[in-house]
Amino acid sequence: MKIKCQYCGQILISNASFCSKCGKPIKNKLCAKCKTINELDAKYCINCGDKLETKKNIRYNKTKSDRKKLPFIFFGIFILVSALSIFIFLKVINLKNEKSDNTAVNQIKIDNKIINKINLLKENIKKNKNDVESYIELGNIFFDIDNKSEAILYYQKALEIDYTTADVRIDMAICYFESGDAETAISEIEKSLQFHPDHPNALYNLGIINYSIGRTKKAAQWWNKFLIVEPQGELSEKAKEFLGKITE
């Protein structure tokens, strides 16, 4: 069988790979059914009559089809990942909100309880301005909620009624100290010792305050007096530990 060069039209033998006239490569169609070589522009096989496939078109269509499918695949993956991310995000937000809501509810309950107690104590004072216990309790409440200025105010009112109460004066002194006024704190505790010279908390706290402002010798004197009054106990062990640091 003879074939024709698709470029120059030269007649060639069927198994020619290049044109003998123009030298260009020969592109022919191979019948998939009978394996007969056909000319490039042939639509049907010259041997069996089977329709010839165009490899170029087949390859193009396949590639085009794959390209059409890829965007849909990527889009589906994107939607799936996005939905999962949103679900996780909402779950985390809900957990945080639940925790925050529970904390807020508990805080409201505590605050309301404290407010009710404060109002009750103030009503007691309105009825009896010499109700020293109500003043002390108000001072303790404000001490516990870290409102030192209000605590000092009510402790002072209690001391105006009974100025010999050592525990109230010591608590007030601690409020001064935690508010940054160490000198007033020391002065108030020393006043309490005038009426209760062996009060262990007064002696121990004088050691703490003096130590915190660098007066280590003074602190050691107060802690040594404290250990004479109270040689055993948790505070005693702490006093001994501080004394050990001073003597090192």
If you average pLDDT over residues 138-163, what whole number do you get? 92
If you average pLDDT over residues 108-125, what whole number do you get? 83
Share of the chain above pLDDT 90, in %: 47
Q: Are 36 and 47 in contact (CB under 8 A)?
A: yes
In the chain, where the domains are located: 1-53, 54-122, 123-247
**Candidate from 52-56, 154-158, 163-167, 200-204 with smallest mean pLDDT:** 52-56
pLDDT number for residue 156: 94
* pLDDT above 90: residue 187: yes
The answer to pTM > 0.85 is: no
* pLDDT above 90: residue 100: no
Residue type, 70: L
Q: How far apart are CA 28 and CA 35, in angstroms?
A: 12
> What CATH superfamily classification does 123-247 receive?
Tetratricopeptide repeat domain (1.25.40.10)
* pLDDT above 80: residue 67: no
If you average pLDDT over residues 95-121, what whole number do you get? 67
**Among 155, 181, 153, 170, which Cα is nearest to 206's?**
170
* pLDDT above 50: residue 55: no
User: Which residues, including other chains, have CB under 8 Å from residue 107's CB and lie 6 or more apart?
Assistant: none
If you average pLDDT over residues 133-141, what whole number do you get? 93
Q: Are 16 and 7 in contact (CB under 8 A)?
A: no
* Most confident range, picked from 26-30, 90-94, 99-103, 236-240: 236-240
* pLDDT above 70: residue 98: no
If you average pLDDT over residues 201-213, what whole number do you get? 94
* pLDDT above 90: residue 232: yes
